[in-house]
Structure 1
Amino acid sequence: MTLSIRPDVNSAAQVVSSLSTQQLPTVTETEMLQAVRTLLIGLGENPEREGLKDTPKRVVKALQFLTKGYHESLDELLNGAVFTEDANEMVLVRDIDIFSSCEHHILPIIGRAHIAYIPDGKVIGLSKIARICEMYTRRLQVQERLTLQIADALQGLLKPQGVAVVIEATHMCMVMRGVQKPGSWTVTSAMRGVFAEDARTRKEFMNLVRHNTNFHS
């Protein structure tokens, strides 16, 4: 099969140049399975033993799922769920569980995203905010880029008064290896429009993110 990286589309109507798409060499699933077998042998394991016989197949299937965001686009994701509304107050979806993979070690990034925007005539289905988040997390990522991609996608789609994204995550590459610091959290933010320009709006967002409501577990 041919693997290609989908361009990051910031607007459902935006046309990106062909230079934005990188065409990768053709790789068959058999070659992918063999690559995992070779890796197991390199680690000193026997890929023919009972517990590892199906491991190459499972690893390939898992990695395809964890990177399925490369083969999704905002157009497909939205499916027309942008609506005209007079709303002009903050819309916040917080505590969105996220699972991504660090592009340096292909180890898990686990955390939560808090995403807000202030409409300017257009709103988006709430579930689509979580789906946009998931599309970008299902790629090999660094947290800084992930945060910016989500913010820029919403800004491009809705042209709102502003967008705010905060991601809090723990990186298994810092927990399981390297400095081995469990309990450490990385926090990144991206502010667009009024969230970047107006300190009071930004403060309101941060207060809502921190606030524990009675119905929140």
Structure 2
Amino acid sequence: MFDQEKIQQATRLLLEAIGEDPQREGLLDTPARVARMYEEICGGMQQDAAEHLSTTFEASEAGMVVERDIPFYSLCEHHLLPFFGRAHIAYLPSGRVAGLSKLARTVEVFARRLQLQERLSAQVADALMEHLGAKGVIVMMEAEHMCMSMRGVCKPGTQTVTLVKRGAFEQDPALVDEFFRMVGQR
């Protein structure tokens, strides 16, 4: 699906546009390296979260399932610069649970696309609601955006936090409080 040659051509043009010589020894293989990199870091474009969330296990007595501190890396769609951080997820199963690694894989599917953090949080929550049939989902993401840290306002270390609630988490503040305690936020 990725057009490696177009990415390489674009990289050569970018190098020329910033005053570099694409034929310089250190840059000769850069277009190919950049093309391989984009195929890897944008690989979520070729994936569907349903694939990871389709295998579930019976757990009729399961309470809130929380997975915290899931590292993620993504690219801001406005500047094509990275943003990275941690995701914290909880869901209330409806009698079935997903394997724990599947939550991290779901974050990865959506993070490996050109993104906005706000959309990323919502996509993860919506996928869990849809594919797990959860009674409720909450997703909190904390990230540093390189477009804010290394350019523009130049405020490294600034964290952007997004919170998305679905289902029971929208109606029950006690569930939200319990989630925050479990992820160490209160």
Secondary structure of the equivalent of 2:183? helix
Question: 2:59 aligned with 1:59, yes or no?
Answer: no
Q: Decide which of 165, 168, 183 is 1:194's aligned counterpart.
A: 168
**Cα distance in structure 2, aligned partners of 1:51 and 1:113:** 37
Question: 2:179 aligned with 1:205, yes or no?
Answer: yes
Question: 2:9 aligned with 1:34, yes or no?
Answer: yes
Change (3 A) 1:155 1:57: same
- Output aligned runs, 1:67-216, within 5 Å: 67-78=42-53, 80-210=54-184
Q: Which has the higher helix share?
A: 2
Matched-pair contact (CA < 8 Å) for 1:87–1:119: no
**Cα distance in structure 1, aligned partners of 2:94 and 2:75:** 34
Count of residue pairs the alignment pairs up: 186
Matched-pair contact (CA < 8 Å) for 2:50–2:127: no
Point out where structure 1 has 5 or more consecutive residues left out of the alignment: 4-27, 213-217
| Superposed displacement of residue 211, structure 1 | 5.9
**Cα distance in structure 2, aligned partners of 1:179 and 1:89:** 43
Q: Deviations over 1:143-189 (max 9, x none)?
A: 00000000000000111121010000000000010000012100001
| Superposed displacement of residue 110, structure 1 | 1.0
Identity, in percent, stands at 48
RMSD across aligned C-alpha pairs, in angstroms?
Answer: 1.4
**Cα distance in structure 1, aligned partners of 2:120 and 2:6:** 30
Runs of 4+ that moved beyond 3 A: none
Change (3 A) 1:82 1:116: same
Q: Deviations over 1:100-140 (max 9, x none)?
A: 11011111111000000011111100000000000000000
Point out where structure 2 has 5 or more consecutive residues left out of the alignment: none
1:9 corresponds in structure 2 to none
Change (3 A) 1:211 1:143: closer
**Cα distance in structure 1, aligned partners of 2:185 and 2:5:** 50
| TM-score normalised by length of structure 1 | 0.82
| TM-score normalised by length of structure 2 | 0.95
**Cα distance in structure 2, aligned partners of 1:29 and 1:66:** 14
**Cα distance in structure 2, aligned partners of 1:103 and 1:192:** 25
| Superposed displacement of residue 51, structure 1 | 0.5
